[in-house]
Structure 1
Amino acid sequence: MSILKRPQIAGQLYFVFISLMGCLIFVFMHRGEFLHYTPSQWVWVYAMLGAAMILNYFTFQLPPEGNLQSMDSSIYLACIFIYGAPFALTIILFNTVAMALYDRKIPVWKHFVNFSIYTLMIAGSALIFQAAGGITGPMVNDKFGAYLAALLVYFLINVFLIGFYYYLLYRGSLYDILKNFMKDTLLVYLSTLILSLVLSVLIVHNGIFGLALFIGLSVMLSYSFKQLFSMYNEAQEKAIKDQRTGLYNHSYFESLLDAEIKKATASNTALSLAMIDIDDFKKYNDQFGHLKGDMLLGFLGSFLKKECKVAEVVASRFGGEEFTILMPGYDEKHAGLFINRLRKKLNDTYFDGVEIFPSGCLSFSAGVATYQVDIHDKSQFVDLADQALYYAKKQGKNIVHVYGSASKKESEIDFTEDVRDIEQQLKLFLYKDVDTFKHSKRVFRYAMDMSEVLGLTNTERRNFVLGALIHDIGKLEIPWGILNKKDKLTPAEWETVKRHVSWGKRIAETNDRFKELVPFIELHHERYDGHGYPHGFKGKQIPKLCRMLTIIDSFDAMTTERPYQKTKTFEEGIAELRLCAGTQFDPELVELFIAYIEQRSLERQEPAAGAEV
């Protein structure tokens, strides 16, 4: 079994350790025995070496990807059983040298590591064989337990050495990794046991002719295994590929993303993801039909596959006209540059009918996100790339946007979209209570100004302003007759009105984007002295910006016309705020708001009456 993966630092140290151990064991057990071989022994060295090389040539693949298996282990086991461990070590030494000279594409260190692993397996197997009472030479029937123990140890050492390497590479559960290796290789090793015993019998009784028969049988078995796994790989290929584009499909992308996130976390390496969307694809479909649209998807699939192969990244079809590119080892900067070069190259690549596109060429919008340690879920990672794609679309298409690279622009886009969405919901008030709609818009404008006065961060500003806009959304649940009643409300009706904060909370919680606004909806009727509703929170138990919203909301309610209360002038409203400072309102925030109102009145020469803001 050979390892063809490129090791990380932990893997490199592990290989150094294995190599040192293999060399020490080889020197200790071999002691230069081949220097004393007779000519007849050398004949068998060459014969067994040739058999090992032939079987090594007929390797076949077993899971996990990159793990190769051959029947050559039966040669080494037969050597242990007939000639002893030093003879088997001679064969593996010469075989390693021959393979290193023959296959120079594989680095020498990989041949050396494989030699060390085989040495440890042979040494462990031989020691157990001896300890279990095994006798070198012709097969002894009543010593079958020794043969079985030798193979078991050979198998377990192989599984542990290779499995531990994959554990260092991918982390996860060592037990699960070893269990999977044992399950995947058990059939092959059972075959190896039988073959090694068959070979021992054939060599003892039939000499070279017996060895030739064995090679023929082993080659056919190896070829059968190779064909079996070739069929398996073909079936798997169909299962993981998108037939229209030739790229990996969505399901395989998710499993690959899982694996790459684990590798990036374990080795602390960069990992980036791009979400790509063909610009104006629907327009192309409508103009030329779905058949031509499918041809365009296939063309783009071939384009991405070719370019991504060169860059050693992986392209997949996410769905519809959306694609993903997973970029192991790419940080934010290099990922953005690669996707942008890809976009420009596509712009210069002709496809029939691209003249109908607004840009007159094939183009895509792309969002790029880079994995961070605080991203604990693959869906969160995909969401960031998808959000970056959304920002790219909003900036005019045929653009690559790296998530977080323009946080101010992202915030502006998000804020504008959120305001639009909330206003769409508030328009329901236009038929039920136009005054509440106007009040919400005025409070929103006050909050915009006060966010500057308070020096809020982008996040605080977004939540405060949107919270002000949506704070009365729960009033949509209040019956029309109560909401528009001209007379004073009865106690029962007033209790119904007070429930609008709870109703509004439930409405906001149905949308993940607005969950952060819940405190503004639920707490804007709490009082500084603890006599508000719904919870009776007091002082700093109420979030600061909710306390400010209470002041803004009350001031606007006092200074604009309401069906069940007298309208106050701005001067009366300011006096009322000061009168209730320390009881209903936070006194410090009251003075900040009053200073803002007075300054604005001076600048705009605001009328004293309750005109609309």
Structure 2
Amino acid sequence: MASIFLFGLSFTLDILIINSIIYAVYQKKVAWWKHLFNFAIYCMMVTFSYHLFILLGGRVGEIFTNNLFPYILSLSSYFILNILFIGIYFFLLHKDKITNIFSGMLKDKSFLVSYLTTLLMSIVFGILIFSKNMFGLFLFVCIAILLSVAFNQHFRLFQETLDKANKDTLTGLNNHGYFKEILEKEVTAAKENDQPLCVVIMDIDDFKKYNDLYGHIQGDHLLQEFGSLLKASSDAANYIVARYGGEEFSIIMPNTNRKTAYSFMNELRKKVNDTHYKGVEGLPYGCLSFSSGIAECEKETYSISELLNKADQAMYAAKNQGKNLVQIYNGHSEYTVQRSLSLEKELEEAEFQLKIFLSKDVYTYRHSKRVYQYAVDFSRMLNLSAHERKTLILGALVHDIGKIEIPRDILNKKESLDPHEWEFMKKHVTYGKDIISTNKKLEDLIPLVELHHERYDGNGYPYGLAGKSIPKLARILCVIDSFDAMTTERPYQKTKTFQEAIAELRHCSGKQFDPQFIEPFIAMIKEFESSGDEQHKEVAASIVN
């Protein structure tokens, strides 16, 4: 840019050619087409910036500080074109959304600051050369070298500190905390770009026995060697590996479906079996082995905790089947079913929490009991796994638990709520999430408690999720909850007949509700009406199994 201002276009392009040849020789390992691409975009940037500079009244040969307008716009165009070309390059390379690429670059403050600094330096460079000729060039080169050394030193120290914070000290792999940060970003990207993603959790089989036989120092050596093998295999497939904790490791597999993930993990399992490690002949299989669980991210995956929980369940299923296995999460594994059945033990506790409403808001108590009963019956009609069925039933019982935190005068208000009160009322889903989160056994219920007021068209709360980005069970609960709200007397809403509520369900199908659940639910309601079943108008106080 300094060359453009002082010597014009032809001389600048000559310098660019010489620079590109030197750089290509120096960086022989870089693909030739990348050098050509780089040279081409610089040619276009330099040419456009020069012509814009001349068009705006700029004069070559001197830096005129009394009119900086041509310089500023010329530098800005250079900057904008560079971002545009880099964005196109990454779009072609990674097939990511181009808007995501540009927003990512522009949100990076360090990127913007470093770029603007470089561009401003071109004016400083031009002034020094014009004023002091070769001495100005000498001063600038000295300053540039010193700044480069200082920045490199600071970057090295920063990188070392970052590595200490993000790396596991024993294996050198990503640690648990940094793994979750990466997973959060990868899951978001996978959903936005509609690409598959799998997560694996693996556990070295009988590692405690190995430690007992040979001591913890030898056990640490085994972890290091296993981590090195794991990293080499994962790096070759562009996967991200971490030490999850103890003898557990985890892998993020971007752009990978469950079938490919299973194939990779099974090959890795065989490779580990066939690799000799000191002392493993004393283990049950006579070799080193691991059990692993695979979970695939889906549009309706609520959080990385849910994804990791599924991978963890699949891993324990592999353990329960004899170890040295790879298991894909499918919601029907033995461990999952056992865990689902254990939720019944929490019904009594949930019922106890619910009874708090008897003294504060009897409407919410009776509404929750009815929604619970609807969930019991509707879950029988749907193709749900045992775990999903139990989660839906228990989630229906406690879905409004957050209203405990809503003031009594708002809960029991006879008139319509004003905007401020309604905003306060909507917070009950967040309060409910906080209450449920205190009990690890109930963490599967969090999506139902927090998201049962999300709408299929994206106009719900608290996050405005849409379509299948809303977890399936939350979409089902939304239908049940809304139907009971429409057909039951509430302080802030008129009561509809069953027929009016059915008409409303159909009218809002595809808007508020997921269409696939509307007709099955209506069929169930009509069946109750035809059979004269009255228990769904008022549920008994006892919990029905």
Which TM-score band applies after superposition, normalised by the shorter structure?
A: 0.5 to 0.7
CA distance in 2, matches of 1:228, 1:353: 44
Aligned to 2:355: none
Equivalent runs, 1:381-460 vs 2, <5 Å:
381-404=307-330, 410=333, 412-419=334-341, 422=344, 459=384
Matched, 1:282 2:208: yes
Listed one character per residue, the Cα deviations across residues 75-118 of structure 1 (whole Å, up to 9, x for unaligned) are xx222122212321233244335544664432333223322322
- Residue 157 of structure 1 deviates from its aligned partner by 3.5
Matched, 1:177 2:108: no
- Residue 284 of structure 1 deviates from its aligned partner by 3.4
CA distance in 1, matches of 2:521, 2:139: 86
Aligned to 2:120: 190
Answer whether contact 2:201 2:251 (CA < 8 A) is retained. yes
CA distance in 2, matches of 1:109, 1:336: 36
- Residue 222 of structure 1 deviates from its aligned partner by 3.1
- Residue 336 of structure 1 deviates from its aligned partner by 1.0
Answer whether contact 2:341 2:390 (CA < 8 A) is retained. no
Aligned to 2:373: none
Which structure is larger by alpha-carbon Rg, 1 or 2? 1
Aligned to 1:298: 224
CA distance in 2, matches of 1:329, 1:466: 29
Matched, 1:239 2:165: yes
Aligned to 2:442: 511
Listed one character per residue, the Cα deviations across residues 147-201 of structure 1 (whole Å, up to 9, x for unaligned) are 4554344334434543576687364484563242313433333334323432344
Residue range with higher mean Cα deviation, 318-327 or 133-142: 133-142
The residue type paired with residue 226 of structure 2 is: L
Answer whether contact 1:160 1:178 (CA < 8 A) is retained. no
CA distance in 2, matches of 1:583, 1:269: 46
Aligned to 2:274: 348
Residue 324 of structure 2: SS of its match in structure 1? coil
CA distance in 2, matches of 1:86, 1:245: 54
Answer whether contact 2:200 2:295 (CA < 8 A) is retained. yes
Match of 1:365 among 263, 286, 291: 291
Match of 2:50 among 114, 126, 133: 126
CA distance in 2, matches of 1:271, 1:159: 29
Aligned to 1:136: 60
Change (3 A) 1:584 1:179: closer
Answer whether contact 1:78 1:199 (CA < 8 A) is retained. no
What TM-score do you get using the length of structure 1 for normalisation?
0.54
CA distance in 1, matches of 2:388, 2:302: 25
Listed one character per residue, the Cα deviations across residues 390-441 of structure 1 (whole Å, up to 9, x for unaligned) are 221222211101223xx6x52x543344446647999xxxxxxxxxxxxxxx
CA distance in 2, matches of 1:215, 1:92: 18
CA distance in 2, matches of 1:97, 1:466: 65
CA distance in 2, matches of 1:466, 1:175: 38
Aligned to 2:10: 86
CA distance in 1, matches of 2:232, 2:66: 61
Answer whether contact 2:63 2:126 (CA < 8 A) is retained. no
Change (3 A) 1:145 1:353: same
Change (3 A) 1:200 1:326: farther
Aligned to 1:499: none
Residue 384 of structure 2: SS of its match in structure 1? helix
The residue type paired with residue 270 of structure 2 is: K
Residue 237 of structure 1: SS of its match in structure 2? helix
Listed one character per residue, the Cα deviations across residues 195-217 of structure 1 (whole Å, up to 9, x for unaligned) are 343234444xx4xx765665455
The residue type paired with residue 177 of structure 2 is: S
Answer whether contact 2:306 2:444 (CA < 8 A) is retained. no
- Residue 582 of structure 1 deviates from its aligned partner by 4.8
Listed one character per residue, the Cα deviations across residues 122-166 of structure 1 (whole Å, up to 9, x for unaligned) are 234323433454322244454555445543443344345435766
- Residue 379 of structure 1 deviates from its aligned partner by 2.9
- Residue 335 of structure 1 deviates from its aligned partner by 1.5
The residue type paired with residue 401 of structure 1 is: Q
- Residue 362 of structure 1 deviates from its aligned partner by 1.9
Residue 325 of structure 1: SS of its match in structure 2? strand
The residue type paired with residue 331 of structure 1 is: N
Change (3 A) 1:196 1:373: farther
CA distance in 2, matches of 1:464, 1:312: 37
Aligned to 2:514: none
Aligned to 1:315: 241
Equivalent runs, 1:137-286 vs 2, <5 Å:
137-143=61-67, 146-162=70-86, 169=96, 171-172=99-100, 174-175=102-103, 177-180=105-108, 181-203=111-133, 206=134, 211=137, 214-286=140-212
What TM-score do you get using the length of structure 2 for normalisation?
0.59
Equivalent runs, 1:37-116 vs 2, <5 Å:
77-97=1-21, 99-100=23-24, 103-116=27-40
Q: Unpaired runs of 5+ in structure 2?
A: 349-376, 395-434, 449-472, 481-487, 489-494, 503-519, 537-545
Answer whether contact 1:245 1:302 (CA < 8 A) is retained. yes
- Residue 583 of structure 1 deviates from its aligned partner by 6.5
Matched, 1:337 2:263: yes
Equivalent runs, 1:530-545 vs 2, <5 Å:
none
Residue 511 of structure 1: SS of its match in structure 2? helix
Residue 359 of structure 1: SS of its match in structure 2? coil
- Residue 456 of structure 1 deviates from its aligned partner by 6.8
Answer whether contact 2:337 2:387 (CA < 8 A) is retained. yes
CA distance in 2, matches of 1:364, 1:92: 55
CA distance in 1, matches of 2:72, 2:535: 85
- Residue 241 of structure 1 deviates from its aligned partner by 0.8
The residue type paired with residue 391 of structure 1 is: A
CA distance in 2, matches of 1:463, 1:104: 56
Answer whether contact 1:164 1:174 (CA < 8 A) is retained. no
The residue type paired with residue 230 of structure 1 is: R
Listed one character per residue, the Cα deviations across residues 11-34 of structure 1 (whole Å, up to 9, x for unaligned) are xxxxxxxxxxxxxxxxxxxxxxxx
CA distance in 2, matches of 1:106, 1:148: 33
The residue type paired with residue 176 of structure 2 is: H
Answer whether contact 1:133 1:143 (CA < 8 A) is retained. no
Aligned to 2:361: none
Listed one character per residue, the Cα deviations across residues 544-566 of structure 1 (whole Å, up to 9, x for unaligned) are 9999xx9xxxxxxxxxxxxxxxx
CA distance in 1, matches of 2:254, 2:533: 59
CA distance in 2, matches of 1:228, 1:194: 24
CA distance in 2, matches of 1:146, 1:399: 67
- Residue 324 of structure 1 deviates from its aligned partner by 0.9
Answer whether contact 2:128 2:137 (CA < 8 A) is retained. no
